[in-house]
Amino acid sequence: MIKIGNKIKHEPGNEEAWICLCGSTSDFYPCDEDGNEKEQNRHWQTYSGSWNCGRIFENDTLLIVGVNPEPKRLEN
């Protein structure tokens, strides 16, 4: 079970590199509060999601706020 309220972590010595609780270090995407992918823009994104496990987290606090194991992807 994925607990809401936990936080993902930073890689040691790199505040810009994330490590999800599932172990993923590179499979993140910008998303809305429901975990659905949205286009990245120059402005700070509020949420990111993990393609690996579906966790949704706040970028500034790293707090896990939800889970969406089947997010809507943008059309390529």
Residue 74 counted as domain residue: no
Residue 53 counted as domain residue: yes
User: Which pTM value belongs to this model?
Assistant: 0.88
Structure tokens at 47: 């949420």
- Number of domains present in the structure of the chain: 1
Return all residues near 25 (Cβ < 8 A) that are at least 6 apart. Answer: 11, 17, 18, 19
- At 16-74, the pLDDT tens digits run 899 999 999 999 999 999 999 999 876 767 999 999 999 999 998 999 999 999 999 99
pLDDT of the residue at 40: 84
Better-scored residue on pLDDT, 7 or 45: 7
Domain housing 32: 9-67
Residue 29 counted as domain residue: yes
pLDDT of the residue at 3: 77
Is it the case that residue 2 has pLDDT exceeding 90?
no
Can you tell me whether residue 42 is helix, strand or coil? Answer: coil
Q: Which run of H or of E encompasses 70?
A: none
